[in-house]
Amino acid sequence: MVVVDKIQPHLPNLVIHQIQSLLPTKSALRMSFLSKQWEGVWPLSPVIDFDQGGTHTDDEDNIKFINILERYLEFCLKDKQLLDKFRLHMRYHGEGRTVTVVDIWVRFAVMRSIKELDISLGSIWPDYYYLSLENLGGKSITTLNLEYVAIDKISNELSLPSLKYVSLKTVRMDYSVIHRLISECPSMEYLSLTSCSLIDRGKMSLATLFLYTSSSYNNLKTLEVRDCMFSYIRVTGINLESFTLDSRYRHLKRVALCG
C-alpha cells in the first residue's frame, strides 16, 4: 500500500482504472481510498462481486463489511451503468442495518437491468433474509442463484420472462413458490433444489412437492432435487430431459414420475 501510494500521483488515470478493474470489488474499493485521484477514476464494472469470506466472523468484521457495501453503493448511485452480474455472499444476522443494505442492493441490481443475481446470506433459521420474487420483476434476469434465504409467498404475477437457470440451496419457501416459478417463467430450462424446505404458515414442515412441467408454455428440461425436506415428490412433465433425485433423508417416502 505504501509503495502504491508513493507512485500513484505519476500514474495515468487509464492505468489506475486498469489496476482497479482487475481486483475483486471489495479490494478495488479499498484501493480507491488511497487518494482523491484513485477515488476519482473508480471504475463502475458491469460485474459486482462482494464476498465477505470465511465461515466465522465477529461483530467488528461484519461492521467493516457493511461499511464497504454502503461506501460502494455511493459510487454506484451516481452512475447509470447497467449490470450483468451481482454477487453478494456474506454473513447475515438479521439486524436492521444489514437488512437495509441488502434490500437496497437488491433493488439497485434490479434497476440496473441485472442478468445474473447470486445471493448467499449465511445464517441460522429463522434469521433468514426474506426475499420477494415479485420485487425481482424485470425482463433482464436470466440466472438466479439463492442460498440461505427465505422466499415469501407470491401474491402478484411474476414478471421474469427471461429467467432460464434457477438454483436454490438451503432455501425456505412458501408452498406456492416452485409452482409459480415453473408455470410463470416460460424460458426456464434448469431448476436445482438443494437442502430446501417448504414453509406452512411460517413453520417448516415435511411436505409434498408437486411439480407440473407439462404445460406447453414451459421449457423446463433439467430438474435436480437433492437432500430436500419433502416426504412425497410428484413430477409431471413431458418436456423434461433430465431428472436427478438424491436424498439421504429417511422422511422421503414416495416419488412419482408421470408423463
pLDDT of 58-91, one tens digit each? 778 888 889 889 988 887 887 788 889 999 999 8
| Same domain assignment for residues 146 and 259 | yes
173 versus 211: which is more confidently predicted? 173
| Same domain assignment for residues 167 and 60 | no
Decide if 86 is inside a domain: yes
Backbone angles phi, psi at 51, to 5 degrees: -135, 110
| Same domain assignment for residues 183 and 253 | yes
| Same domain assignment for residues 63 and 37 | no
Q: What percent of the chain has pLDDT over 70?
A: 78
pLDDT value of position 4: 45
pLDDT value of position 6: 45
33 versus 61: which is more confidently predicted? 61
31 versus 90: which is more confidently predicted? 90
Burial of 188 (C-beta count, 10 Å sphere; 0-12/13-18/19+): buried
pLDDT value of position 180: 87
Decide if 240 is inside a domain: yes
List C-alpha distances in Å: 24 to 87, 100, 186: 11, 23, 34
| Same domain assignment for residues 168 and 63 | no
Decide if 134 is inside a domain: no
pLDDT above 80 for 57: no
The domain total for the chain is 3
The pLDDT tens digits of the residues spanning 95-145 come to 788 999 999 999 999 999 999 999 999 888 888 999 999 888 778 999 999
| Same domain assignment for residues 111 and 34 | no
| Same domain assignment for residues 39 and 54 | no
| Same domain assignment for residues 213 and 256 | yes
The pLDDT tens digits of the residues spanning 149-159 come to 999 888 888 88
Decide if 228 is inside a domain: yes
| Same domain assignment for residues 168 and 238 | yes
pTM for the whole structure = 0.83
pLDDT bucket at 7, cuts 50 / 70 / 90? very low
Is the Cβ–Cβ distance between 163 and 187 less than 8 Å? yes
SS3 state of residue 97:
helix
| Same domain assignment for residues 31 and 51 | no
| Same domain assignment for residues 259 and 146 | yes
pLDDT bucket at 3, cuts 50 / 70 / 90? very low
pLDDT bucket at 167, cuts 50 / 70 / 90? very high
| Same domain assignment for residues 84 and 22 | no
Decide if 21 is inside a domain: yes
What range defines the domain where residue 211 resides? 142-152+159-259
Decide if 51 is inside a domain: yes
Decide if 3 is inside a domain: yes
What residues does 91 pair with on adjacent strands? 122
Residue found under cell 466465522: 56
pLDDT value of position 5: 46
Mean pLDDT of the chain: 82
Decide if 135 is inside a domain: no
Nearest Cα to Cα of residue 100 among 62, 134, 58, 70: 70
